[in-house]
Amino acid sequence: MTLSKNIFLNVILFLSILGLGFLKTSPVFSDDFDVAAKHAFALESSTGKILYAKDSNTPVAISDYAYELTSNWEISNVPMTKRSYTVKELVDASLLASSNSAAIALAEHLAGSEPAFVDLIKRQLETWGITDTKLVNATGLNNKYLGDHIYPNSQKDDENMMSAKSLAKIAYHLITDYPDVLTITNQAGSNFDGKPIQNTNAMLTGMPRYRKGVDGLKTGSTERAGHCFVSTATVNNMRVITVILNADNPKDNPNARFEATNALLNHIEATFEPLTLFSAGEKVGKAPVKDGEKETANAILKNDFTVITTKTLTNPAPAKLNFTANLKAPVRANQHIGDLTYQDINLIDQGYLDAPPSLPLLAQDTIETKFILEIWWENLVNYINEKL
């Protein structure tokens, strides 16, 4: 197995640690929108812009991916009767049917043992700047259900814990680095060991809580974490990721996490939209050039410069041009001569997972160096004017 496949499976399996009729899409315009869950978070993936946050920085139990915890753990598992399975079969069972056995099998395959896998995941999360976690197993189950098979030095009632924002970061890396995972998570069902398995995500096409555009990612439930759901959907031509942790009143409403997700997606649909400030190839400014046949270089973009704005914003925030200091000829066509950065003032929480959108500025044309005597004469004149 290649390194890239190892990373791919690590991310997929860790997402599984979440344990984690038709929904009407109605507009939600309120500025004080409050989703029906204790913790929630939403972002747009192409820019990392935060679209919603509710107590999203508090590490909480993030559940396993069983349907409901019972005293008999195996009741909620996809049966595993064969001695060997393909990685694809195990991934399907983990992501679609929330099989704890499949998750453990993948963990042991990747790292040699479940504790070694937990250590591997901790190191991966550190590289993404995620430090608010408490991880003790690959399934998200409370240790009390695992007998003697618990992480070294962990307590008998320990459970995986993480903030809603960190879960969104993991989902962001998953679908950004490995977008093909959506071809798995968008399936209403599949087959495992010759038997049909059903996706626990009820918002997919053909499912009872269907919403157009939803194609992932993962549900989860435990006694401590409640009903949870990390979703991804296309809304207003935006790729959106949402996290719902501990949805309100799941005992009376088993679809509470899906209805909360639907309400959050309605709010995003009514509030946000993408806006292209500059098109690919468009001239956005002029960079000063020293000692060149031309005094400035036209700055262009290789790609469209698209940002996420609120629909009620009549004047979008400006983009700032930051040209390379002391740019000297020769300047070659398509040379990096600065950066264009969006000056977003409509921020939620910290604003962005990383930083506001920014693209490199490229020189439109080649600018050659002036004749050496002309440069010498100009430098002399400047010296006389400034020093004498």
Structural domains of the chain sorted by starting position, each given as residue range(s) with its CATH number in brackets? 48-178 (3.40.710.10), 200-271 (no CATH), 279-373 (2.60.410.10)
- Tokens 């194609």 sit on residue: 215
Model pLDDT for residues 247-279, shown as the tens digit of each residue: 999 999 999 999 999 999 999 999 999 999 999
Summary mean pLDDT of the chain: 83
Question: Is the pLDDT assigned to residue 3 strictly greater than 70?
Answer: no
The pLDDT of residue 382 is 74
Higher pLDDT, 201 or 102: 201
* Range of weakest confidence among 111-115, 139-143, 164-168: 139-143
Q: Which of 168, 190, 133 is nearest to 50 (CA)?
A: 168
Q: Which of 337, 302, 307 is nearest to 322 (CA)?
A: 337
The pLDDT of residue 228 is 92
The pLDDT of residue 384 is 78
The pLDDT of residue 335 is 98
Categorize the per-residue pLDDT at 284 as very low, low, confident or very high, splitting at 50, 70 and 90.
Answer: very high
Model pLDDT for residues 187-218, shown as the tens digit of each residue: 998 887 788 888 999 999 999 999 999 999 98
The pLDDT of residue 4 is 56
Higher pLDDT, 309 or 79: 309
Categorize the per-residue pLDDT at 6 as very low, low, confident or very high, splitting at 50, 70 and 90.
Answer: low
**Percentage of the chain exceeding pLDDT 70:** 84
Please indicate if the annotation marks 134 as binding a ligand: no
What lies within 8 Å, CB to CB, of 30 at 6+ separation is 267
| Maximum mean pLDDT: which of 142-151, 317-326, 369-378 | 317-326
For residues 329-347, average pLDDT = 96
Q: Residue 371 and residue 363: Cα distance in Å, rounded?
A: 21
The pLDDT of residue 96 is 75
Model pLDDT for residues 17-74, shown as the tens digit of each residue: 565 544 544 444 446 899 999 999 999 999 999 999 999 999 988 754 322 222 222 3
The pLDDT of residue 298 is 98
